[in-house]
Amino acid sequence: MEHPLRIGVSARILHPEGAQALGFRGKTLQYLETSVAHWLMAHGALVFMVPTLEAGSSIRRASISMRDYVNSLDGLVLQGGADVSPETYHEQPLRPEWTGDRVRDMYEIEMLWAFVFQQKPVLGICRGLQLINVALNGSLHQDIPTELPEAIRHVDPALYDTLHHDVEFRPDSLLNRLYGSDARLRVNSIHHQCIKQLGNGLVVEAVSPADGVIEAVRWTGSSFVMGVQWHPEFHHNHGGDLLDSGPVVSNFLNQCIERRSVPSMPARR
């Protein structure tokens, strides 16, 4: 390659009510969780957080657009974070604490489709998988214990990324081809929501064998879009006890390399 891959990562958003506790009264913070950046950088990619372009901000849409960002980047990672708002998939929150982040939903959906339009690869992590599903007209269970009471625990605040469970790859899945038959199929679990109705054009790559909760999906459309429900960027902290995170990121970056050889659309003027 002439230069390292340039990978955009969606921003986590800390709205004014949360930012005030850090001394930013009336301000919004946008940030990148270190582990996901270092995970990509460890595989030779340059990482760039893509800030929101919100209505009412100081950025004029005539000056910069999401397409300008996409033209400059080779791929996109949708990182984890706050719940997807039920309003984004046309439901009302069952409880006030499950209202999610509608602002972030709209920003990430716009960004997702901008990358898909230019056929540049997208990888979703945890919330990122759920956002991909919703963007493709799917829906979510707002709370696994409430809506799927027979399911195993998928989140424990006290254990955080040390809560683990097994996954099962579908025989015809990309993940099964990437990992083969000897992989350690155990992952972390840090989510209380999960896919209910599968989005258009998505196929299931992996499930939790204990309860059938969907753990990975892949789009069958015009470009590479994949999501995993676990956080592969946290797996290196647990030695060989968890699924190797290398094949997931290596495949994503290889997809970006292949796409780089195809000319991008010219930047808008």
Which residues carry out catalysis?
A: 126, 231, 233
What is the C-alpha separation between 78 and 122, in angstroms, rounded?
A: 8
Residue in 106, 119, 44 with CA at minimum distance from that of residue 76: 119
**Residue 149, C-beta contacts closer than 8 angstroms, at least 6 positions apart:** none
Q: Enumerate the H helices of the chain as residue ranges.
A: 16-19, 34-41, 66-72, 102-117, 127-135, 144-147, 174-179, 246-260
What is the C-alpha separation between 33 and 121, in angstroms, rounded?
A: 20
What is the C-alpha separation between 150 and 25, in angstroms, rounded?
A: 43
Q: CB-side exposure of 49: number of CA atoms within 13 Å?
A: 15
What is the C-alpha separation between 243 and 188, in angstroms, rounded?
A: 9
β-strand partners of 14: 29
DSSP type of residue 9: E
CA distances from 87 to 58, 83, 141, 262 (A): 27, 11, 13, 37
